[in-house]
Amino acid sequence: MPMFCAVYGCSNRSNREATRSFYRVPKVVVHRGEKSKQLTEKRRRKWLENLRLLSKGAESNNACVCSDHFVNGRPSDVNDSESVDWAPTVHLGYQKGKPVSEVPRKREKMMMAMDDQHQDGARALLDHHWTNKNIKQDDTDMLHGRQDD
What residue ranges bind Zn ion (CB under 5 A)? Answer: 5, 7, 10, 12, 66, 68
* DSSP H or E stretch at residue 24: strand 22-24
Please, are residues 91 and 68 in contact by the beta-carbon 8 Å criterion? yes
- For the bound state, the minimum distance from the C-beta of residue 106 to Zn ion, rounded and expressed in Å, comes to 27
Q: Smallest gap, in angstroms, from Cβ of residue 22 to Zn ion? A: 8
Helices (H), strands (E): how many in the chain?
A: 2, 2
Q: Judged by CB, which is closer to Zn ion: 39, or 88?
A: 88
Using the minimum distance from each CB to Zn ion, give the nearer residue, 36 or 93: 93
Which residue's CB is nearer to Zn ion, number 39 or number 64?
A: 64
Residue 39 or 67 with smaller CB distance to Zn ion: 67
Identity of the residue numbered 24 = R
* The one-letter amino acid at 116: D
Q: How far is the CB of 10 from Zn ion (least distance, A)?
A: 3
Burial class (CB in 10 A: 0-12, 13-18, 19+), 143: exposed
CB of 41 to Zn ion, least distance (A): 24
